[in-house]
A and B are shown apart, each in its own frame.
Chain A
Amino acid sequence: MGPVGQSTEGSMAIENDVLVIGGGVAAVASALAARETGADVRLIAHKQSTLRQASGLIDVLGYHPADADDDASRTEPIVDPFEAIEEVPEGHPYERVGAGAVRAGLDLFDDVVGDAYVGGHTDRNALVPTHGGAVKPTARYPASAAAGVASDDRDAFFVGFKSVPGFDALVAADHLRAAGVPFDVRGATIEFPGDLRDDAKLTRYAHLLDRNDAVEVDGRSRPVRQALAERVEERLSGHERVGFPAILGDDHPAEVREALSDLLGAEVFEVPMGPPSLPGMRLSDMLFEALEDAGVRVTTGNPVVDFEADGDRVDRVIAEHTASRVPYRAEQYVLATGGLVGKGIQSDRERVYEPIFDLPVPQPEDRYDWFEEGAFDDHPFARFGVPIDRETRPLDADDEPAYENLRAAGAVVGGYDFAAEKSGSGISLATGYAAGSEAGDRA
């Protein structure tokens, strides 16, 4: 329904040195890296960041890419992702930008999140239990999840809530025991104190705990943290650490955790969840605050839908302001619009394509070859995205940079399966850093 094709002639463009298109980890890393070079930077995102759906874990490389030598090396979690990065196949984003960019991207991340995150003390992956009871190899994790790591041999107790179906404490505990973690783990499902509606938003729980509001329990009014601790304590039987679904506070998670730990006499941690995800929301807030502090201009709510080129340079991109088309201009552009889920890569019944610049996306011609039979097979679609050169510039059909001043970062880049490798955030930070600093230097 958009007014496609309507000219923007006669319009001034909104101008900056560097324009970053997108709103996730890759876009924020690009914008911050570009800003560090002194460039004047704008980030333009279609909607609120989809980071709010992310687990908040920052994976760098958890498993070997699918074309690693043998099956065993693909099913064993990687201990040191930096060693493994040296061996990724040609064309993989890590091969394109190199381990230096991965470290620089992580440094940038560590600076932004400060002590809200853990993991920077070592190159080795941590093993963090997830809400399904799997153990995920990851490089950085929220401080709230720290006491839950699987390498810790203290016995653990999981608490789930009847009204929060995204985390089944018993199932998660069973799975972890079956995975052979070096500690005993049990679980219980309880009612959250206070009478929230059955499908109350997770933010309702988080804000109740943030404010420590009073709730009614058995006709008595008591602060929610205390009421919750009392319910858990009855079942705790000496476990030294207690895991909750990640709903322990939105604005003051550390304070909520500390208060519950004190009340329970056991260390409290959060188990990262699927969407909507409080750790994702907290991370999103931290990253966007960092943009504001760094003086990056942020525009959200306007999708970039089109562009105009001047020879081999992108001259301007066109954003839809509700129903009208508005040009944005910069010296350098970074495309960080996400992959198939984030809609930086789209597909219809004929083809897979990159919707703004129509950059080539390698794909099997027949769409029945886009996927394999089994759910966890090695699907071609998982690698769909734009190929890039070593300066992160998307390539055209002749393997030449499509535009001299256009770079790409994050999931819009192809050639890797982030879900299988557990490499999503690491690639976003590394390519974001590389694309942003190159763009900033040249702007």
Chain B
Amino acid sequence: MSDAETSDDFDVTTDSTTGDDEFEPVQVFPETEEMDLRPGSDDCYKCSTCDTNCPVAEVDDDFPGPKFQGPEQWRLKRKEDQDIDDSIDKCSNCMRCDSACPSDVPLSQMHNTARGEYVENQMDKLSQEYVRNRILSNYNFFAGLASKVPRLANFVTGLSVTQWAGEKVLGVTSEREFPEFAEQTFREWWTERGGAQVHNPDKRVAYFHGCYSNYNTPEVGKAMVEVFEEFGYEVMVPEQGCSGTPMFANGMLDDARRHAETNVENLVAAIGEGADVIASCTSCSLSLRQEYPELFDIHGIDDVAEHTYEALEYLRIHEDLASELEGTEVDFPDLAYHAPCHARNQGLDGQAIEMIDRIDGVDAEDVGDSCSGISGTYGWKVEKYDLSMQIGEEMFDHMESAEGDVGMTECPTCAMQMGHGTGYEIKHPLEVLDAALVSEDTSRP
């Protein structure tokens, strides 16, 4: 995590209250009520590593790159009447700059705050782009409606006239097929099965399923529950909103904050009951761990950040997962694994392969460190679609040359892009673990 400071724990005037009159350079800026990004900005020594890692700058010559969007724009903004450069809109929020920076500059925090300011002050709220971005980032709301009538929703979104209208009226590309809504959401399944099957006050996890595994891929959520119950955990499924990831990427910070308030309240309650928070989507876990405390000051938000883990990561730390998997056998197709940028950001890019290596009967191959290019809502925008596919090209090539004809990733939108570019079916690592630890279990005599 970056060493950026937020207003609640950084007080630039601390030293001046000691009564020591000696000059200290840190005192020259007045106290601020806003997020103070100056320490982070000062940490940038202009090595440009972020720029050479930026997948957008690589394919879009109009994008000046993260070094400009972050520390340089922040400095420019110290002047009065300086607008945010509208190229901020081109950043896909993949956050690779964060994991590249050798100096811990909070680049994505700078991008997120600049984008929020841009949308609030400089974007026309009646423009097609604003409306489209608002809709895309509130996927959770629309998916909620659609899942009430999944078959109808799938029928309508599958119509070419819908796609045509989506592109013409909203600016949502017609090149992509809308994700299919599950006939039973994860939460419906959870209620139907009567909630937790294991009760254990000493081993509790609160599952943050996010929008996608609730509405579109409940099989991932089910795998999560089964695997954790196999290890004796009591799974809780608190009420929750969107993690905020698509909202940050579109500068809709007010929407994100509203959801964050709900999430923090409910997750803090679960933590109070002894639970840690688990996510199966790496963007959700990143949001709760990093973006929440970087962007919002909500009571309990640091607690949530400190108690949140990605599912596999949690099992590696709290169970002897490696030994448990050793010698298990599955009948599973070989997998071409793509590590999402947001997993990379949490240092989780190696763990899926490391764990699956221990399971017999399945081979997973890492297809390299390129970005899939979709970055959530980015690749859905009509003007970004081609760039998104250009960024993804390296990953598609590596997937095609990998042994397996089935893909694997933790991120739902990376999965969309992987499927879109190669036609492969895409699995989640939890589904492989489920097959190795649970399903095979039941088939044993």
Assembly CA distance A195 to B285 (angstroms): 40
Q: Which of B58, B61, B100, B285 contacts A48 (CB 8 A)?
A: B100
Tell me how many residues of B have a C-beta within 8 Å of chain A: 51
Knowing A48-B102, A201-B65, the reply to whether A298 touches B346 (Cβ < 8 A) is: no
Min CB distance A246 to B, Å, is: 13
Q: Which of A52, A195, A197, A298 contacts B52 (CB 8 A)?
A: A52
- Name A250's closest neighbour in chain B (CB-CB): B52
Interface residue? B327 (CB, 8 A): no
B102 touches A342 (CB 8 A): yes
Assembly CA distance A6 to B286 (angstroms): 20
Q: Which of A47, A201, A281 contacts B51 (CB 8 A)?
A: A201
Interface residue? A347 (CB, 8 A): no
A47 touches B58 (CB 8 A): no
Interface residue? A12 (CB, 8 A): yes
Interface residue? A14 (CB, 8 A): yes
B347 touches A53 (CB 8 A): no
Interface residue? A299 (CB, 8 A): yes
Knowing A197-B61, A203-B52, A297-B350, the reply to whether A321 touches B100 (Cβ < 8 A) is: no
Interface residue? B363 (CB, 8 A): no
Q: List, in ascending order, chain A residues with CB within 8 A of B347's CB.
A: 299-302, 319, 321-322
Assembly CA distance A210 to B290 (angstroms): 36
Q: List, in ascending order, chain B residues with CB within 8 A of A207's CB.
A: 58
**Segment of B127-135, B304-312, B424-432 engaged in the interface with chain A:** B304-312
B306 touches A323 (CB 8 A): yes
Assembly CA distance A48 to B104 (angstroms): 11
Interface residue? B48 (CB, 8 A): yes
A197 touches B62 (CB 8 A): yes
A301 touches B348 (CB 8 A): yes
Q: Which of B94-111 contact A (CB under 8 A)?
A: 99-104
Q: List, in ascending order, chain B residues with CB within 8 A of A201's CB.
A: 48, 51-52, 54, 57-58, 65
Knowing A297-B350, A297-B354, the reply to whether A196 touches B306 (Cβ < 8 A) is: no
Interface residue? A324 (CB, 8 A): yes
**Segment of B74-82, B219-227, B313-321, B403-411 engaged in the interface with chain A:** B313-321
Q: Which of B48, B57, B101, B317 contacts A14 (CB 8 A)?
A: B317
Q: Which of A25-56 contact B (CB under 8 A)?
A: 47-48, 50, 52-53
Q: List, in ascending order, chain A residues with CB within 8 A of B345's CB.
A: 301, 322
A321 touches B313 (CB 8 A): yes
Knowing A1-B1, A275-B48, the reply to whether A204 touches B58 (Cβ < 8 A) is: yes
Min CB distance A204 to B, Å, is: 7
B49 touches A276 (CB 8 A): yes
B317 touches A323 (CB 8 A): no
A53 touches B47 (CB 8 A): yes
Chain B window 316-353, contacts with chain A (Cβ cutoff 8 Å), 1 for yes, 0 for no: 11111000000000000000000000001111111100
Q: Which of B133-152 contact A (CB under 8 A)?
A: none
Assembly CA distance A48 to B51 (angstroms): 13
Assembly CA distance A297 to B51 (angstroms): 27
Min CB distance B366 to A, Å, is: 9
Min CB distance A108 to B, Å, is: 23
Interface residue? B34 (CB, 8 A): no
Q: Which of A273-303 contact B (CB under 8 A)?
A: 275-276, 281, 297-302
In the complex, the 6 A-B pairs of residues with the closest C-beta atoms, listed nearest first? A301-B347, A302-B347, A323-B305, A322-B289, A275-B47, A197-B61
Residues on B close to A: CB < 8 A?
A: 1, 3-6, 9, 47-49, 51-54, 57-58, 61-62, 64-65, 99-104, 285-286, 289-290, 293, 302, 305-309, 313, 316-320, 344-351, 354
What would be 11 A-B contacts, judged by CB atoms less than 8 Å apart? Answer: A1-B6, A1-B293, A48-B99, A48-B102, A197-B61, A197-B64, A202-B52, A276-B47, A300-B349, A321-B347, A326-B313
